[in-house]
Amino acid sequence: MAKEITPRSEDYSQWYLDIVQKARLADNSPVRGCMVIKPHGFGIWERMRDALDAMFKETGHVNAYFPLFIPKSFLSKEAAHVEGFAKECAVVTHYRLKNDPNGGGVIVDPEAKLEEELIVRPTSETIIWNTYRDWIQSYRDLPLLINQWANVVRWEMRTRPFLRTAEFLWQEGHTAHASREEAVEETLMILDIYARFAEEWMAMPVIKGVKTANERFAGADDTYCIEALMQDGKALQAGTSHYLGQNFAKAFDVQFLNRENQQEYVYATSWGVSTRLIGGMIMTHSDDDGLVLPPKLAPIQVVIVPIPKPSPELMEAAEKIAGQLRAKGVRVKVDNDDQNRPGFKFAEYEMIGIPVRLGLGQRDIAANQVEVARRDTKEKSNVPLDTIADHVATLLDDIQQNLFERARNYRDEHITKADTWAEFVDILENKGGFVYAHWDGTSETEVAIKEQTKATIRCIPLGWDEEPGACILTGKPSEKRVLFAKAY
C-alpha cells in the first residue's frame, strides 16, 4: 500500500518529498519556491500556533500586526542587517497594471512606479523598531512584549517544502527592555519556551545553545538556538532567539528616559519559529509507511473504521465510542466511507499519520471488544469496549512519550566525541549526527572545517560540562567543545 513512498534507506531526500505529498501536507505552486499548505498540513500548523501562542501569552506577550512592506531605505539602517537580508528579497516597484494597448493581456503600468521601492518583509525588525520609536518614551513604557504571526518572504535559490520556502509562515517576537540583563533574560526565557514546545508538543528532543559569530542573525549581539537531529543524521535549526543589544535602537533612534532620568537606547530581542517545524517533525518521527504524528499535534488523533464497511449497527457502536472519546477531549473521526476496503483505508490512515486506529467489526461487537492499532509501533491489541475510552486516552499519552524517547535515544546515540581530525571526518562521513569536538574559537577555522567536511558549528551547547583541549583542525588551545554537524 505504501509502495508509492521511496524507502528512507534508498533516498532520504525523495522519501521526505514523498511524505509531504502523499500525507497531503503541501503541494507545489506555480510560484517559484512557494508552496500551498494543504488542510492536513495546515491543521498541524494551527495546533503548533495555538500551543505556542498560549505559551507566549502566559509569559506576558501580546500579539500585534505590522505592515507586509518595508521601505527599501529601512533595510540599510542597521549595517549588519542589510548584509544579511537585502540580498534575496521580493521587491515591489509598481502599484498598477493596465491593459496592454497591443492586446497582450495586462502589463505593468510604467506610470505607476513607486518613488521608493518596497521590500516584502524577510523579517520585521526594521519596520517594528521604526514604530517603537513612537511608542517608547520612558522606562514606564517598558518592557514592550509583542509578537506577530505573519508570512515572510526570502528569495531562496534552493527550496524544499516546509524546510526552506520563498514564502513561509512564522511568528516573530520583538521585545524592548530597559536593561541589558532583562533583555538577555527574555532571550533565554523564549529559548526555554521553544525547547519545551519542541520536546513536549513535537516530541522532538533539542539541544539549546548559542551560535558562533559566523552563524549569528544579521544584527544580533548573540543568537541562541534549539538544534534537533533528523533521522538521516543531519541537524536542523528549529528556532532562534536573538539578543539584539542596542543595535536596532541606535539604527532607529529609539531612546527612553531611564529611572535615573537620563536618555538611553532601548535593549532589544527578537525570536522566531516557522512552518519549518513541520519539516523537523516529519524527519524526526515518520517511517516508510508514511507520516507519524505526535498525538498532541495530530488534527485527528483516533479514527474508527467499521469493518468490512459501515452498517447501521457498526456505525452506532462507532459513534458511541467516538462520543466517549470526545468527552475526554480526544479528536476522533468515524470513517463512513463505503467505497474502499479496510486494507486500503488502513494504509491511507497510516500514510497521513493518525496516531490510533480502531477497527470495529461484527465479531468484535459480539466479543465486546475493539481492535486498537497504534501508528508508532504498529502494534495491535484487542481492548474491551467497556474500557476503550480510558485505554485510548492513556495510549495517546504513551505514544507521545514513546515518540519522544525513541527520538531522544537516537539523538543521544548520535552525539559523538571526536579528538582527532581522522575521527571527526570518519564520524561525519559514516555515522552522522552531532560531533562534539574542540575548536580554536576562530572564524577562519570554522570556515575551513566547513569547506573540508560540509559540517558547521550548530551551537555551543548551554550548560554542558566544559573541558579545555586542542582544536580538532589546528591543534590550537580550546576552552570547550562545540557541536558540529551537517545541517539542513
Per CB under 8 A, residues contacting a copy of itself are 27, 29-31, 34-39, 41-43, 45-46, 62-76, 82, 86-98, 105-106, 108, 117-120, 127, 130-131, 134, 140, 146, 150-151, 153, 155, 167, 169, 339
- Beta-carbon count within 10 A of 111 CB: 8
CA dist 149 to 46, 169, 173, 459, Å? 11, 7, 9, 26
Closer CB to a copy of itself, residue 153 or residue 459? 153
Shortest distance (Å) from residue 198 CB to a copy of itself: 22
Q: Residue 124 is placed in which grid cell?
A: 520585521
Closer CB to a copy of itself, residue 44 or residue 226? 44
Q: Which residues of 315-336 are buried (b: 16+ CB within 10 A; e: fewer)?
A: bebbeebbebbeeeebbbebbe
Shortest distance (Å) from residue 35 CB to a copy of itself: 8
Q: Which residues of 430-456 are buried (b: 16+ CB within 10 A; e: fewer)?
A: eebbbbbbbbbbbeebbeebeeebebb
Q: Phi/psi class of residue 162: alpha, beta or left (left: φ > 0; alpha: ψ in -120 to 50)?
A: left
Distance CA 49, CA 310 (A): 35
Q: Residue 61 is placed in which grid cell?
A: 506577550
Shortest distance (Å) from residue 79 CB to a copy of itself: 11
Closer CB to a copy of itself, residue 226 or residue 249? 249
Closer CB to a copy of itself, residue 240 or residue 275? 275
Closer CB to a copy of itself, residue 9 or residue 339? 339
Spatial neighbors of 363 by CB under 8 A, at least 6 apart, are none
Shortest distance (Å) from residue 162 CB to a copy of itself: 12
Closer CB to a copy of itself, residue 150 or residue 485? 150
Shortest distance (Å) from residue 118 CB to a copy of itself: 7
Shortest distance (Å) from residue 130 CB to a copy of itself: 6
Closer CB to a copy of itself, residue 84 or residue 441? 84
Distance CA 270, CA 57 (A): 16
Shortest distance (Å) from residue 54 CB to a copy of itself: 12
Closer CB to a copy of itself, residue 105 or residue 463? 105
Closer CB to a copy of itself, residue 119 or residue 188? 119
Shortest distance (Å) from residue 354 CB to a copy of itself: 15
Closer CB to a copy of itself, residue 96 or residue 341? 96
Angle at 280 between CA 121 and CA 269, to 5 degrees: 45
Shortest distance (Å) from residue 63 CB to a copy of itself: 5
Distance CA 164, CA 277 (A): 11
- Cβ–Cβ under 8 Å, residues 117 and 72: yes
Shortest distance (Å) from residue 423 CB to a copy of itself: 42
Closer CB to a copy of itself, residue 7 or residue 43? 43
Cis peptide bond prior to 71, omega within 30° of 0: no
- Cβ–Cβ under 8 Å, residues 242 and 271: yes
Closer CB to a copy of itself, residue 64 or residue 448? 64
- Cβ–Cβ under 8 Å, residues 12 and 232: yes
Per-residue HEC secondary structure of 389-421 comes to: HHHHHHHHHHHHHHHHHHHHHHHHHCEEECCCH
Q: Residue 146 is placed in which grid cell?
A: 509583542
Of 324, 342, 410, 334, which Cα lies nearest the Cα of 380? 342
Shortest distance (Å) from residue 146 CB to a copy of itself: 7
Shortest distance (Å) from residue 24 CB to a copy of itself: 10
How, if at all, do strands 62-63 and 144-153 pair?
A: parallel
Give 359's strand partners.
305, 371
